[in-house]
């Protein structure tokens, strides 16, 4: 098993190569979560995630012969970029196998670092199998995303920074993929400050670490799609499970709806862009899934990455606005006569709602042929505003249904 000395040595190797990320106190999230929440902003690395740490340490340990052979890796995106970036920095040939479902933004970013991209399969495990095949066929050095001592030690350097930036930290919360990220940090954190509670957050759709700990070893769990694609692996690592048993106090799960809400809250309240995996710890805090916190408890929440597709952000924002009552669709049934739309819109305007879209439904409407249904997408100020708006429309005699 790794030791603190491995993490300390990794820090010296990557010093000057990997930047120190900030760890500020968030007043908005502290109010929302009922504790002093500090965000360790690993999304601010050159490649947008903590993966630079492990990759830089791994490349520093490669022999000249290994560098000459070239490297291969499997990744949904973040490890891919970290490996490609460090390979380009050192003039090493890199081949990255990514799932066909990998976000386009991550594929393009990896390609920009000069790596050869192979798209294979629907998930990380499919990409992993192809990368291993290429390793055997081409003689490449395989760089594992999480189940590698050098990778784990590199990730653990983040905890050393946290202890310097927030020396009175009491709780550390971070996401769980294969376990290398939190495993390395938990080792460093507990070795230097055993009193810190270390909590891991994984997608409730793919609870691979909980399954591994319950089974006494890594097992393959059924595949599932999740918004937190960066931690969407079906099997925990062999090397990471002992670290979790020894150093991680608790594991909680979050679903995609909770992650989406956290992404939106981070954008709106913290002005921070996080991908699904990066926002998972914030989701656990926002949903109050971590007990034992008080107003004075110092919590460090690690935002592991920010590589998220802009189209996905747009969908999350739109859905989040609906959940918060800031966007609504209503169907108003009226006689199909001139001036009826104007009357409806006048009522909407009087209630100070903003019209985003208008659609008439005639052909598919059940009931009297002389009626039409006006579908309105509206910008509103919250649930109370929506209720007041619907009430005003009904008071005018309109039949209204909220979609």
Residues forming a β-bridge with 225:
none
Please answer whether residues 200 and 209 qualify as being in contact, where contact means their C-beta atoms are separated by less than 8 angstroms.
Answer: yes
Residues 6+ apart with CB under 8 A from 125: 220, 223, 233, 234, 235
Rounded Cα–Cα distance for residues 155 and 158 (Å): 6
The three-point CA angle 194-251-156 to 5° equals: 50
Nearest to 50 by CA among 19, 10, 6: 19
Q: How far apart are CA 354 and CA 345, in angstroms?
A: 10
CA distances from 143 to 60, 137, 182 (A): 12, 15, 18
In contact, 146 and 154? CB cutoff 8 Å: no
Distances in Å between the Cα of 57 and the Cα atoms of 43, 52, 152, 191 are: 19, 9, 9, 20
Q: What is the CA radius of gyration of the chain?
A: 25
List CB contacts of 68: < 8 A, sequence separation 6 or more: none
The H-or-E segment that residue 259 falls in is: helix 256-265
Alpha-carbon distance of 183 to 189, in angstroms, equals 10
In terms of DSSP bridges, do strands 71-74 and 36-41 run parallel, antiparallel, or are they unpaired? unpaired
Query: Which element (helix H / strand E) includes 257?
Result: helix 256-265
Active-site residues, by number, are 51, 304
- Contact between 34 and 295 under an 8 Å Cβ cutoff? The reply is yes
The angle formed by the CA atoms of residues 125, 227 and 257, to the nearest 5 degrees, is: 145
Distances (CA, A) of 125 to 25, 88, 178: 37, 25, 11
Strand 371-379 and strand 399-402: pairing? unpaired
């Amino acid at each position: 098993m790794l030791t603190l000395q491995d993490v300390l040595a990794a820090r010296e190797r990557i010093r000057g190569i990997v930047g120190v990320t900030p760890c500020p106190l968030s007043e908005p999230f502290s109010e929302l979560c009922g504790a002093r929440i500090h965000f360790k902003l690993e999304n601010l690395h050159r490649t947008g995630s903590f993966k630079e740490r492990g990759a830089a340490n791994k490349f520093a340990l490669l022999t000249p012969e290994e560098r000459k052979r070239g490297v291969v890796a499997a990744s949904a995106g973040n490890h891919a970029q970290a490996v490609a970036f460090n390979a380009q920095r050192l003039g090493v040939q890199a081949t990255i196998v990514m799932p066909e479902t990998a976000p386009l933004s991550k594929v393009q970013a990896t390609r920009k670092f000069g790596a050869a991209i192979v798209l294979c399969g629907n998930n990380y495990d499919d990409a992993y199998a192809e990368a291993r095949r290429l390793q055997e066929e081409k003689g490449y050095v395989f760089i594992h995303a999480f189940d590698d001592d050098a990778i784990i030690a590199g990730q653990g350097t983040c905890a050393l920074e946290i202890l310097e930036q927030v020396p009175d930290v009491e709780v550390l919360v971070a996401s769980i993929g294969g376990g290398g990220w939190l495993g390395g940090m938990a080792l460093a954190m507990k070795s230097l400050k055993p009193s810190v509670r270390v909590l891991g957050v994984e997608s409730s759709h793919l609870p691979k670490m909980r399954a591994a700990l319950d089974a006494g070893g890594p097992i393959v769990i059924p595949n599932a799609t999740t918004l937190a694609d960066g931690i969407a692996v079906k099997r925990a690592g062999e090397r990471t499970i002992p670290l979790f048993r020894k150093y991680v106090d608790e594991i909680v799960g979050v679903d995609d709806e909770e992650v989406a809400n956290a992404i939106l809250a981070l954008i709106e309240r913290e002005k921070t862009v996080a991908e699904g995996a990066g926002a998972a710890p914030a989701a656990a805090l926002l949903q109050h899934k971590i007990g034992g916190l008080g107003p004075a408890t110092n919590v460090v929440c690690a935002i592991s990455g920010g590589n998220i597709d802009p189209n996905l952000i747009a969908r999350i924002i739109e859905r989040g606005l609906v959940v918060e009552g800031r966007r609504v669709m209503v169907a108003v049934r009226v006689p199909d006569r001139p001036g009826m739309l104007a009357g409806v819109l006048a009522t909407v305007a009087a209630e100070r709602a903003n019209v985003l879209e208008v659609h008439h439904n005639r052909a598919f409407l059940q009931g009297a042929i002389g009626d039409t249904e006006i579908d309105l997408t509206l910008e509103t100020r919250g649930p109370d505003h929506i209720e007041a708006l619907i009430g005003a429309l009904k008071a005018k005699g309109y039949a209204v249904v909220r979609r």
